[in-house]
Amino acid sequence: MGGKVLIVDDSEMIRNFHSYILKSIGLEIITALDGADALEKIYGSDGELLICLTDINMPNMDGYTLIERLREDPDYEDLPIIIISTEEELQDKQRGFEAGANLYIVKPTEPDELVENIRMLLGR
């Protein structure tokens, strides 16, 4: 599976873990530490993003805000976005979907489940 994935999480351990999983299916990895860093990486990099994985709780800009910002941009209104968060309350999920997320996964991430969900979202 070729293409670029953006992994947004303030935890280095999580970024490394998710990078490891997605490299194994052939994706090119871009990482960001928070929502603000993600926007810089998105608008500063050339080439199309295939998918974005984002945490919710992060300093500077949280995942909800990041998703809302991306959905305001016609170039990113259809970008597949998966929230991966420790928050497991229904209200957090609802807020995530309202912001525009396509999918919500509760940590800890199960590698096979993540890969399956990505394949499903991308139709591959």
Residue 91 to residue 97: CA distance in whole angstroms: 10
Rounded to the nearest whole angstrom, what is the least distance from the CB of residue 101 to Mg ion in the complex?
15
Is 9 within 8 Å of 18 (Cβ atoms)? yes
Residue 17 structure tokens: 């873990």
Is 76 within 8 Å of 70 (Cβ atoms)? yes
Q: Which stretch binds Mg ion (CB under 5 A): 10-18, 24-32, 37-45, 108-116?
A: 10-18
Q: Which is nearer to Mg ion, 24 or 86 (CB)?
A: 86
**How many residues make contact with Mg ion (CB under 5 A)?**
4
Residue 81 to residue 76: CA distance in whole angstroms: 10
Residue 124 to residue 113: CA distance in whole angstroms: 15
Residue 41 structure tokens: 């990486």
109 lies in the site for Mg ion, by CB under 5 A = no
Site for Mg ion in 37-96 (CB under 5 A): 55, 57-58
Q: Which of 3, 4, 10, 107 binds Mg ion (CB under 5 A)?
A: 10
Q: Which is nearer to Mg ion, 53 or 58 (CB)?
A: 58
Q: Which is nearer to Mg ion, 25 or 107 (CB)?
A: 107
Query: Binding residues for Mg ion, per CB under 5 A?
Result: 10, 55, 57-58
